[in-house]
Structure 1
Amino acid sequence: MPTNCTNPPDTVPTDAGVAGTGVLLSFIITAVISLALSASLIIQEQFFRNRGRPSVVRRKLLNAYSDQQIMTGIGIQVVGLAQMDAAFMAPYHFFIIWMLSLLSMAVHNATLLALVHDFRRDWVLRWLRQFLMFVNLALSCVYGSFMLEAVQRHLTESTAPISCVWDDATPTPANDPTNIGLSFFGTIAVIAGNAVIFAMATWYLHSRAQRFYRTIQLVGLVLMAASAIGAAARVLMLSQAFGQPSVPLSDENEKHWSFGAWVSLGMLALPIISVIEILRGELRYAPPVADQDDKAELLGHSGNELHTFQPNPFWGDSSNAYKK
């Protein structure tokens, strides 16, 4: 069915799969847990390195929650693009998805700051992280371009599908949003900032010479926490589940607790199973490697050395483009 951009509906159908209570709480709770774990690990490494052993459990939990966050962030963006011609995928829902993608990006970058040594010592993990960072950035830039066009044409409060922002026949709502100039430059700043942070995260992940390592950790953690708080606040204020939507919605299904909402929250318990297995001695993980160590034994077995930076076997040492 072709998209009708000339006659937008009076109300926007709700979509609990994008802006429902369970989905939003799942993203926000995961972000809170991940940022708290990242902060605890970075603070311990910065100020209490010689007090107690590094926590394998916290690192495992952080890694699991961060993976869950970035995969769901990529997944919800793909779903939004696949359904952008549907009547319920208005700029309202598209903006919420964009904010959730920024939230997942901030969480992943904070995790990278805390667990960079774990990723750098295994080239597969390192390049897998690089790939996920690139996919998330690419999708976020696509969403940013849609929202930039919607802001420029005063369509952020339109009830038409998001794909109509590129159609000249789409009418502008009678109540034009205020502060268009601020929203326009703010959207550009977010897109540009994401690109800059991606470049810095790439250098941080692949560089052997960790210059200003401690400063980057602390400053980066503060910036990522601020970004996550800002994205979460915008979602909470704009969503029907917790705030006041900017468009008229057809019903209140996004406030209801469905099976999918409970499943989203139930997924938060999965990483705890691995933690229990670690505590019970069923699984063993390599301890974190200090930045100044050249190599360490893997799982305490002599002869199994785990280097702090494992080069890509396809290019050898030349895989590190940020060596100097």
Structure 2
Amino acid sequence: MFDAGNCSVVPDSVATDAGVAGAGVLLSFIITNCLSLFLSSIIVLLNLRKSTSAPICRKLLLSFSDQQILTGIGLQSVGLAKMKTMVPYHFFIIWLLSTLSTATNLSTLIALVNDFKRDWVLRWLRQFLMLINLILGVVSSIFVLQSVMKNLEPRLPIACVWVVESRGKSSNAALSLVGTIAVIAGNVIVFAFSTWYLHNRQNPKWLKTVQVVGLIALVAMGLGATVRVVLVSQAFGHPPESVRLVGMGEKEWSFGQLLPLLLLSLPLINTMEIIRGETRTPPSSVDEDTTPLFDGELVQQQDGRFEYQPNPIWGSGSRSNLMGK
């Protein structure tokens, strides 16, 4: 159980945490987000022009997205697990990085939605990861919101937001409050729309407009989170003086900081192998083609139409029903 006595004494200083806010960790999230948004833009643009389906870009984008969302889920889990010792400064950086992870995931969904629709494994795996990311993001946002509302002492653990009394409003409390609430509401709304978007059987004409508008919004979201995390982090900017960080560990480079950046080369190596012909992949169809990748994916309805399988886990009458095997 959390000892409320830990919230009664304010420490004189806070230790750095390179595992959360180190230069390598921040750069890996920022670079992955920028590359994913760039690749998503290329794919959406080519789709609007009805030209090539860009199979190499699709492969790279999917790899970067998978790596980013798993890393984002892991980092948020670490933040919540360490909430009894982690100060709001580090928790806020995790929250910003989770925003970058969400932007990467959603931009990939916009660009590769029909790739996910054509394969129920990818479709439901993406849905599951989106749900986990949403739950963690909303919980983290509630902690951030509560710390803003109570103007939590910056050197106390983030878990103290449920114990200590409010210290009054800070100078930027109104802006922070509106921004945090907007992010929480946006995450829930976007998740609901993304779920519909991912499982929708039809491709209405206005869908391409939604792709373009959504991509522009995600670029703005990623840019805002990037600027904010660069400004407040010790690695690249200037953390608030009230935090009183001890040491320069978040600026120092070590193997732990190089590792996230080295992992970014794996999708590039895999793609190079595909280009050289060492690894073969099935050709990618243009976005207008929603033909399933596997036999038995479609079920014929009474009116003669073919529909996708409802769910691979508990869907009835499906060859893909895992519960029945």
Q: Shorter-chain TM-score: which interval?
A: 0.7 to 0.9
TM-score, with length taken from structure 2: 0.87
Aligned positions of 1:141-290 closer than 5 A: 141-155=138-152, 158-168=154-164, 172=167, 177-211=170-204, 212-246=206-240, 247-290=243-286
Helix, strand or coil: the match of 2:229?
helix
Q: 1:137 to 1:147 in 2, by over 3 A?
A: same
Structure 2 residue aligned with 1:301: none
Q: 1:222 to 1:139 in 2, by over 3 A?
A: same
Structure 2 residue aligned with 1:138: 135
C-alpha separation in 2, matches of 1:113 and 1:166: 38
**Conservation of the 8 A alpha-carbon contact between 1:73 and 1:104:** yes
C-alpha separation in 2, matches of 1:17 and 1:309: 46
Q: Does residue 121 in structure 1 map to residue 115 in structure 2?
A: no
**Conservation of the 8 A alpha-carbon contact between 1:18 and 1:93:** yes
How far apart are 1:177 and its partner, in Å?
3.0
Q: 1:167 to 1:222 in 2, by over 3 A?
A: same
How far apart are 1:315 and its partner, in Å?
2.2
- Number of residue equivalences: 304
Letter in 2 for 1:315: G
**Conservation of the 8 A alpha-carbon contact between 1:15 and 1:253:** yes
- Deviation per residue, 1:54-85 (Å, 9 max, x gap): 22111111000000000000000011111111
**Conservation of the 8 A alpha-carbon contact between 1:91 and 1:158:** yes
The CA RMSD over aligned residues, in Å, is 2.3
Q: Which 5+ residue runs of structure 1 have no aligned equivalent?
A: 299-303, 319-324
Q: 1:24 to 1:309 in 2, by over 3 A?
A: farther
Letter in 2 for 1:143: S
C-alpha separation in 1, matches of 2:278 and 2:307: 27
How far apart are 1:297 and its partner, in Å?
7.8
C-alpha separation in 1, matches of 2:234 and 2:283: 44
**Conservation of the 8 A alpha-carbon contact between 1:80 and 1:97:** yes
How far apart are 1:124 and its partner, in Å?
1.2
Helix, strand or coil: the match of 2:72?
helix
How far apart are 1:286 and its partner, in Å?
2.6
Q: 1:278 to 1:305 in 2, by over 3 A?
A: farther
Structure 1 residue aligned with 2:315: 315
Structure 2 residue aligned with 1:77: 76
Q: 1:12 to 1:310 in 2, by over 3 A?
A: same
Helix, strand or coil: the match of 1:158?
coil
C-alpha separation in 1, matches of 2:250 and 2:290: 52
**Conservation of the 8 A alpha-carbon contact between 2:47 and 2:286:** no
C-alpha separation in 2, matches of 1:316 and 1:42: 35
Letter in 1 for 2:70: M
C-alpha separation in 1, matches of 2:126 and 2:317: 19
How far apart are 1:274 and its partner, in Å?
1.0
C-alpha separation in 2, matches of 1:144 and 1:297: 38
Structure 1 residue aligned with 2:40: 38
C-alpha separation in 2, matches of 1:269 and 1:242: 23
C-alpha separation in 2, matches of 1:248 and 1:267: 32
Aligned positions of 1:87-98 closer than 5 A: 89-98=86-95
How far apart are 1:294 and its partner, in Å?
5.3
Match of 2:26 among 12, 24, 28: 24
TM-score, with length taken from structure 1: 0.88
C-alpha separation in 1, matches of 2:290 and 2:32: 34
**Conservation of the 8 A alpha-carbon contact between 2:53 and 2:287:** no
Letter in 1 for 2:282: A
**Conservation of the 8 A alpha-carbon contact between 1:204 and 1:210:** no
